[in-house]
Structure 1
Amino acid sequence: MALGRAFSVAVRGLDGEIVEIEADITSGLPGVHLVGLPDAALQESRDRVRAAITNCGNQWPMARLTLALSPATLPKMGSVYDIALAAAVLSAHRQNPWPRLEKTVLLGELALDGRVRPVRGVLPAVLAAKRDGWPTVVVPVDNLAEASLVDGVDVWGVRTLGQLQAWLSGSTRLEDKITAVPAAAEPTVDLADVVGQSQARFAVEVAAAGAHHLMLTGPPGVGKTMLAHRLPGILPPLSETEALEVTAIHSVAGLLSDATPLITRPPFVAPHHSSSVAALVGGGSGMARPGAVSRAHRGVLFLDECAEIGVSALEALRTPLEDGEIRLARRDGVARYPARFQLVLAANPCPCAPADPRDCMCAAREKRRYLGRLSGPLLDRVDLRVEMYPIGATAFSAAEGEATQQVRTRVAQARAAAAERWRPHGFRTNAEVSGALLRRKFRLSTAAMAPLRIALDRGLLSIRGVDRTLRVAWTLCDLAGRVSPGPNEVAAALSFRQAGASR
């Protein structure tokens, strides 16, 4: 009897767990038995591994071969275990384990000729190996740039199964870590391109400064989509921790660039209005994959023509908007993905949406039904609501609006002030601060709270609405360079919760 052992990683959501792979060769009829809750792709690895081993000049054991993946109760999915399975079989067949194999995590898919192909989810897998104290990780050479983003662990890139065997024997070296190359700055559209719409421009600046959710309504052609596309440009770059988190999500989704995998700018995701619930929040069979809300983590999720989106898809946004993460239960377990994004909604005021509101032919019932897809609980989570109107010819002769760079500087200063204030309490932006903290330790003066008390007594605000108005007031305070919000900031924040209200 001969026994070999290797190690790989199972990725569930963004969490990785080390998987021990054992290969047992014993007397009996030749055959391969794979145990440990493998999925269809992993079941097929038996044929890939056998062909790769024989095509690299090795002998396949003509005996009963049992491959066990532990923990046995953890579902295993995908082709990431191929090279670990092959290494375990080769180690058992040679009956003399490689010392390096006991200290190395192996990730990669095998081609029939022994080439090692790239796989998804390498970054969270390497992070899991580092967390559990593994000193070395071997990945496909095409995933090496992504894996090299993790410090504190030796990462090597392998091209073929034969090269891996030689490295395990100590007779050759694998590809070393690659220094991360920053992605070239994408040409950003400028905020100065937007003609007029000063109130909406200011709302976008406030949204960027405090990470608030925003809704823009108005007829076609007034600049709703232009403003939404310019919001990421005035957001500050991602911190190192945020960049790794966002990159890990895109790694699981298979959306990373091979040359420049690290994502340093806030992502912008704009799904079509016909997108399903699974496309928005994530889904799929087996283990759920990340959806648009997770791909937009630490960035912007823009829903254009939001009144055309299905009610079930819109209502599915309520939980991630409140919790900052999405939990998806599927056949093979529960996947958790972070989803702390800025939501930007854009909608026409009615189905016919004429350029001049006076030309509208819709009945009052049709208007109510059109925007009625946006439920009260969903709108209650939107901090800023702005109604935009067509501009006159005089707007073209007016002075050009501020450029993106100028606004970005103010946004960065406001975010820095907020981060300094909330750091002892574990928050980064005003939008994340808990209502209890705002109402207790950072309670505003009686005069500043007066507008909110009146709105609450009249039933115009919920308690959630009060908390969100306070967060916007703190953002207005940070943009103005003040220490604490006063009655003016609170009144301005309250006006943003009513569509069409002016500053």
Structure 2
Amino acid sequence: MPLFHTRSAAIFGIEARPIDIEVDLSQGGSQRDFVVVGMPDTAVRESRERIRSAIHNSGFGYPNRAVTINLAPANVRKEGAGFDLPMAAAILGATGTVRKCDRLMMVGELSLDGGLRPVRGAISMAACARVEGAHSIVVPRENAAEAAVVEGLKVYGVSHLSEVVGLLSNPERFKPQQPSPPVAVDPNVEAPDFRDVRGQTTGKRAMEVAAAGAHNLLLVGPPGSGKTMLARRLSGILPPMTLAEALVATQVHSVADALPRGTGLLGARPFRAPHHTISDAALVGGGIGMPRPGEVSLAHNGVLFLDELPEFPRNVLEMLRQPLEEGSVTIARSQITLNFPSTFMLVAAMNPCRCGYHGDPTRECRCTGAQIQMYMGKISGPLLDRIDLHIEIPAVPYQELRSRDTGMSSAEMRQRVLAARAIQQQRGYVNATIPPGRLREICPLDDAGERTMEMAVRRMGLSARAHDRILKVARTIADLSASEQIQAKHVAEAVQYRSLDRSFWN
């Protein structure tokens, strides 16, 4: 049986595509003749030595013939070491060690002793196997939990090449991996509590409004005022992820090799906080070879926190405009175009100037007017327009710092957020994502609210985008009050959350 066929999958974006692996053993060659065709990358070409050693050290005979392996389709680049296992199985099949493995897909990286190492994107490959009509998939044991999330597919987690041979020879002796619960126990109950933040009543209220409507948020204040504490407690008041949201978030983390080993579905909404030295490719995705998801995609269905916002390179910040507006990132290469999901809440924090004390009544600012203007000017107007709430976080007075009044807890705030989200769910949109065509229908103003909005737009010189975002924030504030119509007080509070883009940037 000099010709044998197995199936695997390759990752493209967050999806996987089927790859057919054909092995031919030619007469007249030696075992040193090993050729892989079909646009393999360096990791795939280097699999020759791993496969040969793994087969020998697992107690099986390696053919003393020339080995030719074809990875089809040939016009698609193949990356990674996940093809080691299916190629080794195909070689063993060509020598008669294992029988045919139709309707079976496999993936895994081999070590020299025949052990299997985990790979990235196992959940996407399992989904691909189900779509392609495979009845089962073989993955490294560390990837079994995530692959078992896919319904209608038998998932076998193995740790050694010899186990794979046994599975292919006698599949009835092996039990498939049992799927994990649909969503893990929600860990938000263990998130830091807003009771830990002293004072900052306005900041806490703004965080509640942002969570209720999935709005973007900018916190401006001096060092030590509590900006980071507020941001890191936001995930504790967000609603738990739905099954569909958890599936996509898990896919992204698996493809990026950021999913903890042995994890099934992610249970908590992602919270990503990259350092300001991050590159544009690391933030929005890309890189050398096949593009990978960046931080904006790893924060999909969660929170992206950018601390010290003006310290990020301006060209990096400008790349946030597309994902903030469209909820996705498109990365184009000469041979392929990939789309990564990136629907996230942006929470940014910054000082009002380089020294941090501009406008502080207790500390003197050492920056000149030109330096303040240059510092604040690092944040462009179009990016600011895409941030719904601009909140000033002043230094906490001593009396509030020592006060025993802790204010509302995260659990209480979360209940209010869940009630507001339930109202929005009936409309079919989270308030931050209301389409322009339905804005007037979903956000009706009473007469007093109409006058308040008109006055704010005229006096503050707001753009059309800023007007729409104020309307959406007002809708969220009204939902928190269980009010069907947006009243003047709701508009006034929403306008208050946009006042900083005039007081600081002018």
What's the TM-score bracket when you normalise by the shorter of the two chains?
Answer: over 0.9
Distance 1:27 1:446 in 2: 88
Structure 1 residue corresponding to 2:302, chosen from 286, 299, 302 = 299
Shift in Å at residue 413 of structure 1? 0.8
Amino acid at match of 2:493: A
Distance 2:370 2:449 in 1: 38
Structure 2 residue corresponding to 1:378, chosen from 380, 383, 388 = 383
- The residue that corresponds to 1:176 in the other structure is 176
- The residue that corresponds to 2:477 in the other structure is 476
- The residue that corresponds to 1:25 in the other structure is 25
- The residue that corresponds to 1:359 in the other structure is 364
Structure 2 residue corresponding to 1:86, chosen from 75, 85, 88 = 88
1:171/1:442 Cα in 2 relative to 1: closer, same or farther (>3 Å)?
A: closer
Structure 1 residue corresponding to 2:396, chosen from 379, 391, 396 = 391
- The residue that corresponds to 1:493 in the other structure is 494
Shift in Å at residue 437 of structure 1? 1.5
Amino acid at match of 1:419: Q
1:44/1:196 Cα in 2 relative to 1: closer, same or farther (>3 Å)?
A: same
Q: What is the identity percentage for the equivalent residue pairs of Structure 1 and Structure 2?
A: 42
1:441/1:270 Cα in 2 relative to 1: closer, same or farther (>3 Å)?
A: closer
Structure 2 residue corresponding to 1:412, chosen from 418, 424, 427 = 418
The unaligned stretches of length 5 or more in structure 2 are none
- TM-score, normalization: structure 1? 0.93
Shift in Å at residue 242 of structure 1? 0.8
1:289 aligns with 2:275: no
Shift in Å at residue 463 of structure 1? 1.9
Aligned residues: CA RMSD: 2.3
Structure 2 residue corresponding to 1:368, chosen from 364, 373, 393 = 373
Give the alignment of 1:115-130 within 5 angstroms.
Answer: 115-130=115-130
Could you list the per-position Cα deviations for residues 119-139 of structure 1 after superposition, in whole angstroms to 9, with x for gaps in the alignment?
Answer: 111111112222333221111
Shift in Å at residue 116 of structure 1? 1.6
1:269 aligns with 2:272: yes
Distance 2:145 2:25 in 1: 36
Shift in Å at residue 335 of structure 1? 3.2
Could you list the per-position Cα deviations for residues 159-215 of structure 1 after superposition, in whole angstroms to 9, with x for gaps in the alignment?
Answer: 222221122122663352144263683732110111111111100000000000000
Contact 2:98–2:165 (8 Å) recurs in 1: no
Contact 1:285–1:330 (8 Å) recurs in 2: no
1:465/1:203 Cα in 2 relative to 1: closer, same or farther (>3 Å)?
A: same
Distance 1:359 1:459 in 2: 28
Shift in Å at residue 330 of structure 1? 4.4
Contact 2:443–2:471 (8 Å) recurs in 1: no
Structure 1 residue corresponding to 2:198, chosen from 195, 201, 209 = 195
- TM-score, normalization: structure 2? 0.92
Q: Secondary structure at the match of 1:328?
A: strand
Contact 1:470–1:490 (8 Å) recurs in 2: yes
Shift in Å at residue 451 of structure 1? 3.7
- The residue that corresponds to 1:327 in the other structure is 330
Contact 1:163–1:174 (8 Å) recurs in 2: no
Contact 2:209–2:476 (8 Å) recurs in 1: yes
Shift in Å at residue 456 of structure 1? 4.5
Shift in Å at residue 367 of structure 1? 0.8
- The residue that corresponds to 1:164 in the other structure is 164
- The residue that corresponds to 2:143 in the other structure is 143
Structure 2 residue corresponding to 1:44, chosen from 46, 50, 53 = 46
- The residue that corresponds to 1:435 in the other structure is 436
Distance 1:330 1:175 in 2: 42
Distance 2:480 2:449 in 1: 17
Give the alignment of 1:440-451 within 5 angstroms.
Answer: 444=445, 448-451=449-452
Contact 1:219–1:390 (8 Å) recurs in 2: yes
Give the alignment of 1:209-288 within 5 angstroms.
Answer: 209-288=212-291
Shift in Å at residue 442 of structure 1? 5.4
Could you list the per-position Cα deviations for residues 17-63 of structure 1 after superposition, in whole angstroms to 9, with x for gaps in the alignment?
Answer: 11111112233433222111111001111221222223323332233
- The residue that corresponds to 1:402 in the other structure is 408
Distance 2:307 2:122 in 1: 33
1:273/1:483 Cα in 2 relative to 1: closer, same or farther (>3 Å)?
A: same
- The residue that corresponds to 1:421 in the other structure is 427
Task: Single out whichever of 325-334 and 270-279 deviates more from structure 2.
Answer: 325-334
Task: Single out whichever of 273-282 and 409-418 deviates more from structure 2.
Answer: 273-282
Contact 2:57–2:112 (8 Å) recurs in 1: yes
Amino acid at match of 2:393: M
Q: Secondary structure at the match of 1:286?
A: coil
Contact 1:21–1:84 (8 Å) recurs in 2: yes
Q: Secondary structure at the match of 1:137?
A: strand
Give the alignment of 1:7-18 within 5 angstroms.
Answer: 7-18=7-18
Structure 1 residue corresponding to 2:36, chosen from 34, 37, 41 = 34
- How many residue pairs get matched? 495
Amino acid at match of 2:278: S
The unaligned stretches of length 5 or more in structure 1 are none
Amino acid at match of 1:180: S
Q: Secondary structure at the match of 1:102?
A: coil
Distance 1:220 1:238 in 2: 33
